[in-house]
Amino acid sequence: MSSPPREVALVTNPLAGRGRGARAAAAALPTLRAAGVRVRSLTGGDADETLQLARAAVAEGVDALVVCGGDGLVHLGAQVVAGTDTPLGVIPAGTGNDAARSLGLDQRDDAAAAVAAARVVAAGRTRRIDVAETAGRRFVTVLAAGFDARVNERANQMRWPRGQMRYNLATLTELRVFRPLPYVLELDGTVLRTDAMLVAVGNGPAFGGGLRITEGARIDDGLLDVVIIEPITKTDLVRTYPKLFRGTHVHHPAYRHHRVRQVTVAAPGIVAYADGERIAPLPLTITVEPSALTVLVP
């Protein structure tokens, strides 16, 4: 579709970004309607119900599925429309908006940015991007399968504190106990055995709110970027972390990078996360599906 949509499903995670989801939807909805777009506004009680609502709306034939939330909601949207011609629109409203950033959307947490994102949807300009597939799930940004995945798993198991503090605390705890893991990778059929702190598989370049772990990954090149961080000291890990925001960790001697169509990752005791969502324990085989997702872009 390269023409303006007449009817869209707007699926909102009101809790995204600690309440930003509801605010962004409130700004986006009148903008879409003012542009002459019919909007089915949908909100589920939880992620499962939201997925069902989105599937039903797309099955009934809306012109686009628009998600209002963070990377978790883009992930949900990709499960519904990847492999179809129905475009995915994004109103960025999460704590992490790495998929939206890859699409060139305004990241700011204000009504003007949500209005701008709604105008992008109403204009109907589309582009095709790749998605990655593993264990029957699609992801758009990055699959984490090392230290970072352990932090995520640990943070998920904590009830307190909330928000970013939970991740900070989980990171500190994991730093104390983490040891490099023995990985076996199969990169387009070539086996690589290595100890590492983490392995990340990127369709896009960033995760976790601008951490450019797979710096240089392009969402439309038909390839996956596999980054390996070989064993480094904990002090070095802490010192290297801020470099992820600029992508300058690529100059670290422990950084390794491969570009492939398919990769299998095996390591003991790791549950992989992709787009910030819990996927499955390793081993996993990740494959790229070139141009499988149509997205609405500026």
Ligand X SMILES: Nc1ncnc2c1ncn2[C@@H]1O[C@H](COP(=O)(O)OP(=O)(O)OP(=O)(O)O)[C@@H](O)[C@H]1O
Pick from 5, 70, 77, 204 the residue near ligand X by CB under 6 A.
70
Binding-site member from 277, 280, 287, 289 for ligand X (CB under 6 A): 277
Note whether 71 binds ligand X by CB under 6 A: yes
Q: How far apart are CA 222 and CA 30, in angstroms?
A: 37
Residue 271 near ligand X by CB under 6 A: no
Site for ligand X in 6-35 (CB under 6 A): 13, 15-17
Binding positions for ligand X, 81-100, rule CB under 6 A: 94-96
Other Cβ atoms within 10 Å of 168 Cβ, number: 13
Neighbours of 272 (CB within 10 A): 29
Using rule CB under 6 A, residue 77 touches ligand X: no
Q: Which tokens sit at 220?
A: 């439309």
Q: Which is nearer to ligand X, 91 or 263 (CB)?
A: 91
Residue of 25, 39, 57, 73 that binds ligand X (CB under 6 A)? 73
Residue nearest to ligand X (CB): 70
Contact residue for ligand X among 27, 42, 54, 72 (CB under 6 A): 72
Give whichever of 15 and 35 is closer to ligand X, judged by the CB atom: 15
Contact 166, 155 (CB under 8 A): yes
Please give the helix or strand (H or E) that residue 23 lies within, else none.
helix 20-34
Supply the minimum distance, in Å, between the C-beta of residue 96 and ligand X: 5
Q: Is 47 in the site for ligand X (CB under 6 A)?
A: yes
Q: How far is the CB of 180 from ligand X (least distance, A)?
A: 27
102 counts as binding ligand X under rule CB under 6 A: no
Instruction: Write out the binding residues for ligand X, residues 234-253 only, by CB under 6 A.
Output: none
Burial of 128 (0-12, 13-18, 19+ CB in 10 A): middle
Residues that bind ligand X (CB under 6 A): 13, 15-17, 44-47, 50, 69-73, 76, 94-96, 276-277
